[in-house]
Amino acid sequence: MDQLIAAHNSKKLHHANLIYGGAGEDPLPVALSLAAMLLCETETACGTCRNCKRVEKLEHPDLNFTFPFVSGGNSGTSDDFLQDFRRAVLKNPFLDPDSWQRQITSKNQQLQIPVKEIQNLQQKLSLTAAEGGNRVLIIWMPEQIKTTASNKLLKLIEEPLPNTFIVLVSHGKNKLLPTIVSRCAPWSCRPLDNNSFTEHFQSSPEQTSKLLSMVFAPNLGAAITAYDDPESTQIDRFAEWMRTCYKGIPTEITAAVNDLSTLPKESVKTLILRSLHFLERGFYHNVQDTPNSATDLGAINVQKLSGAVVPKGTFGITSSLGACLNDLERNVHVKTTLTHTSYALHRAFRGN
């Protein structure tokens, strides 16, 4: 952010900027701070002027947003979801794609930015700025723009409009067209560390912030969502499944697999990915030094578990969850792979 301020102060800020970094990390908050600076009456993001107040509420008429959404809205553009987006970002400025998707659909729908959205954008930009000052266009996750629309975006970037700043906020820079990347000033955000978590959750008990950081770091956005809605982490479900695998009773395994299979496939993937993340951290990152309560999931305690299975079983556990994830990516039948994984986990827990 300091470098962006310096570029702005020396009048060297490019009209097209690409701010990139991990999902649920700094890129979106940085883009919003940049917008505040550009739209502020004194161009300092003073935080007190009328414009700053409006940016803070994401309601400034010259602050436009483009973001991925799901089909099914009336206009087929992000306007259908603008209210949801504002609410989501105000609640969680580190909003990550998963949390966003869950807020606008319960179905297994792909987030995307369709051609119509970019056309709508061109239309909006053809009008003059409402306040006669700068205009900022934040495009969150440009990597979700359909290929056919990417060229339209490229055109927008190539033909700068007066006092108009385009800010691409990406969590997948390598998925963007090289021609788009090369025309933007790049700003990379460093991955968030444990301190960001401790700072953000400073009013909560230490164990909570440690547990959230263990499961989600560096994705602070996902941690915030999980904190606000513990159900969504499905950690209980995961713990229950692990316990069942540990015991290895076939009827219970079948029941647990059936239960997990009722979730949308994307949720199963997310659940396994997070669980894997959690266990890896638990196994390989000094779990014995973390307070016991931080590793206690109720049904299982990672600290105890890691003490029991290290070193022989750990590889088996993480590799079978990894294989399960691969299977799901390759569209292997969900119940088949979950059943297979459950028995592999059982063997790993028993150290053979």
According to CB under 5 A, which residues from 6 to 45 bind Zn ion?
40
Does 49 engage in binding with Zn ion (CB under 5 A)?
yes
Contact mark string toward Zn ion, 50..69, x via CB under 5 A: --x-----------------
* Shortest spacing between CB 94 and Zn ion, in angstroms: 23
| Closer CB to Zn ion, 40 or 294, in the complex | 40
State the DSSP H helix or E strand holding residue 188, giving kind and residue range, or none if neither: strand 185-188
Pick 46 or 249: Cβ nearer Zn ion: 46
User: CB of 38 within 8 A of CB of 166?
Assistant: no
Instruction: Give yes or no for a contact between 227 and 204, defined as CB atoms under 8 angstroms apart.
Output: yes
Nearest to 328 by CA among 275, 272, 253: 272
Q: Which is nearer to Zn ion, 35 or 157 (CB)?
A: 35
* Residue 244, C-beta contacts closer than 8 angstroms, at least 6 positions apart: 252, 253, 255, 256, 342
Q: Please give the backbone phi and psi of residue 291, each rounded to the nearest 5 degrees, phi first.
A: -60, 140
Query: Applying CB under 5 A, does 121 fall inside the site for Zn ion?
Result: no
Per the CB < 8 A criterion, the answer to whether 185 and 14 are in contact is yes
Q: How near is the Cβ of 220 to Zn ion at its closest, in Å?
A: 26
Q: Which is nearer to Zn ion, 44 or 293 (CB)?
A: 44
Nearer to Zn ion (CB atom), residue 47 or residue 230: 47
Q: 40 vs 309, which CB is nearer to Zn ion? A: 40
Least Å distance between CB 26 and Zn ion? Answer: 21
46 binds Zn ion (CB under 5 A): yes
Shortest Cβ 61–Zn ion spacing (Å): 15
Task: For the CB of residue 46, give the shortest distance to Zn ion in the complex, in Å.
Answer: 4
Q: Determine contact, residues 38/8, Cβ cutoff 8 Å.
A: yes
Q: What is the total count of residues that contact Zn ion (CB under 5 A)? A: 4
Q: Which of residues 183-212 bind Zn ion (CB under 5 A)?
A: none
Cα–Cα distance measured from residue 47 to residue 134, given in angstroms and rounded to the nearest whole number: 17
How far are the Cα atoms of 60, 61, 70, 114, 313 from residue 78, in angstroms, in the given order? 17, 16, 9, 9, 47
What does the DSSP assignment read for 197-232? HHHHTTTS-HHHHHHHHHHHTT-HHHHHHHHH-GGG
CA distances from 63 to 68, 165, 302 (A): 17, 10, 46
CB of 168 to Zn ion, least distance (A): 24
Residue placing its CB nearer to Zn ion in the complex, 1 or 323? 1
User: CB of residue 29 vs Zn ion: minimum separation in angstroms?
Assistant: 17
Q: What is the DSSP string of 228-281?
A: H-GGGG-HHHHHHHHHHHHHT-HHHHHHHHHHHHTS-HHHHHHHHHHHHHHHHH
Task: Give whichever of 21 and 29 is closer to Zn ion, judged by the CB atom.
Answer: 29
Residue 308 binds Zn ion, judged by CB under 5 A:
no
Q: How far apart are CA 351 and CA 291, in angstroms?
A: 25
Q: Is 63 helix (H, G, I), strand (E, B) or coil?
A: strand
Q: Which region, judged by CB under 5 A, interacts with Zn ion, from 47-55, 89-97, 197-205, 272-280?
A: 47-55
Q: Name residues contacting Zn ion, limited to 130-149 (CB under 5 A).
A: none
Q: Which residues 6+ apart lie within 8 Å of 68 measured at CB?
A: 97, 100, 111, 112, 113, 140, 141, 144
Q: Does 5 bind Zn ion (CB under 5 A)?
A: no
Task: Tell me the residue number closest to Zn ion, measured at CB.
Answer: 40
Q: Which is nearer to Zn ion, 35 or 192 (CB)?
A: 35
CA torsion through residues 335, 341, 344, 348, sign:
negative
Whole-number minimum distance, CB 44 to Zn ion, in Å?
Answer: 6
| Least Cβ distance, residue 56 to Zn ion (angstroms) | 10
Is the Cβ of residue 52 or residue 325 nearer to Zn ion in the bound state? 52
Q: Could you list the residues that contact Zn ion (CB under 5 A)?
A: 40, 46, 49, 52
